[in-house]
């Protein structure tokens, strides 16, 4: 795959710069956070959920801005590829016939983002982690399967973390084997992507000797790590667990605070 940096924004806004990556499939846009100092830095490729990377008026969504700033402050460079906006798409939460799929196009985006980081002299090429939320978390699970080992000759991702992914398709596959240390973080009250399939996946992986950890938060819902999201019912969801197209989301401060500490320690571990 041929990759090259096309352009960055004229100035950093909110601590990040906008970047563009040229791939064989077209231009992949994203935002890039750099820590203070000269580097080289460890890095994270962070994958948005079905709502996309942006909110109204071209503002980075509150969750992604919060995590980007926090991880950069912890010494990690953070690249967030925009899988939907780069293809002219908005939120995909209500779309059943997806054209940008978690297990295909978004895995390719994650790999392209890794290679882009590894081409920079201020990034530690052998210390890049993968992080994702919801549908981005499902991409994480798919990308770290043993049979998805990169064939580009560059160092692989070092470790991976996934917030409330839909584990059912992976847990039902007897071929799932995690090639990297993996942490899954979920609420046990999640009625969008329920925890049970992820619990099954984690237990099976642990029995095989894989480094897969499930962190389950009592009473927490989907989006529990959001900085400020009032508990509410969402509708027009293409793949809700109940089949009604509805699910409950919202911040859980106890779970959020624990996850902030736990994920930072996991991603910065040697």
Overall number of domains in the chain: 1
Give the confidence band of 5 by pLDDT, cuts at 50, 70, 90. very low
Q: Is residue 248 part of a domain?
A: no
pLDDT at 89 exceeding the cut of 50: yes
pLDDT on residue 174: 67
Q: Is residue 245 part of a domain?
A: no
pLDDT on residue 176: 86
**d(Cα 114, Cα 193) in Å, to the nearest integer?**
27
Q: Is residue 233 part of a domain?
A: no
Give the confidence band of 14 by pLDDT, cuts at 50, 70, 90. low
Give the mean pLDDT of 245-256.
96
Give the confidence band of 7 by pLDDT, cuts at 50, 70, 90. very low
pLDDT at 1 exceeding the cut of 50: no
Q: Write out the residue range of the structural domain in which residue 68 sits.
A: 4-184+256-267
Q: pLDDT digit string (tens) for 117-151?
A: 999 999 999 999 999 999 999 999 999 999 999 99
Q: Is residue 246 part of a domain?
A: no
pTM, to two decimals: 0.92
Q: Which residue has the tokens 């890095």?
A: 43
Q: Is residue 12 part of a domain?
A: yes
pLDDT at 83 exceeding the cut of 90: yes
pLDDT on residue 164: 98
Q: pLDDT digit string (tens) for 19-60?
A: 999 998 889 999 999 999 988 999 999 999 999 999 877 899
Q: Is residue 50 part of a domain?
A: yes
3-state secondary structure the chain: CCCEEEEECCCCECCEEEEEEEECCEEEEEEEECCCCCCCEEEEEEECCCCCCECHHHCECHHHHHHHHHHHHCCCEEEEECCCHHHCCCCCCCCCCCCCCCCCHHHHHHHHHHHHHHCCCCEEEEEEEEEEECHHHHHHHHHCEHHHCCCCCCCCCCCEEEECCCCHHHHCCCCCCECCCEEEEEECCCCCCCCHHHHHHHHHHHHCCCCEEEEEECCCCECCCCCCCCCEEECCCCCCCCCCCCEEECCCHHHHHHHHHHHHHHHCCC
10 Å CB burial of residue 79 (0-12, 13-18, 19+) is: buried
Give the mean pLDDT of 221-239.
95
**d(Cα 24, Cα 1) in Å, to the nearest integer?**
6
CATH number, domain with residue 162: 3.40.50.1820
pLDDT at 3 exceeding the cut of 60: no
Q: Is residue 115 part of a domain?
A: yes
Residues 6+ apart with CB under 8 A from 119: 3, 5
How many CB atoms within 10 Å of residue 96? 7
Q: Is residue 156 part of a domain?
A: yes
């Amino acid at each position: 795959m041929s990759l090259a940096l096309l352009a960055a924004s004229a100035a950093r806004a909110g601590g990040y710069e906008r970047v563009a990556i040229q791939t064989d499939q077209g231009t992949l846009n994203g935002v890039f956070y750099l820590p203070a100092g000269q580097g080289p830095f460890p890095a994270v490729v962070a994958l948005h959920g079905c709502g996309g990377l942006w909110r109204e008026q071209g503002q980075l969504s509150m969750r992604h801005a919060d995590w980007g700033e926090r991880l950069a402050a912890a010494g990690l460079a953070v690249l967030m590829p925009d899988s939907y906006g780069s293809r002219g798409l908005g939120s995909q939460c209500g779309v059943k016939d997806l054209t940008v799929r978690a297990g295909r196009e978004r895995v390719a985006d994650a790999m392209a983002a890794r290679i882009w980081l590894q081409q920079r002299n201020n990034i530690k090429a052998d210390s890049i982690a993968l992080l994702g939320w919801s549908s981005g978390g499902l991409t994480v699970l798919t990308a770290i399967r043993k049979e998805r080992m990169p064939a580009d000759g560059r160092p692989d991702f070092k470790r991976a973390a996934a917030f409330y992914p839909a584990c059912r398709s992976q847990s039902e596959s007897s071929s799932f084997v995690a090639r990297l240390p993996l942490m899954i973080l979920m609420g046990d009250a999640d009625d969008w992507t329920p925890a049970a399939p992820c619990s099954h996946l984690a237990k099976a992986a642990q029995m095989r000797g894989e480094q897969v950890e499930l962190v389950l938060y009592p009473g927490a819902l989907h989006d529990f790590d959001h900085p400020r999201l009032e508990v509410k019912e969402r509708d027009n969801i293409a793949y809700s667990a109940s089949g009604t197209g509805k699910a409950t989301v919202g911040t859980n401060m106890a779970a959020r605070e624990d996850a902030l500490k736990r994920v930072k320690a996991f991603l910065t571990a040697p």
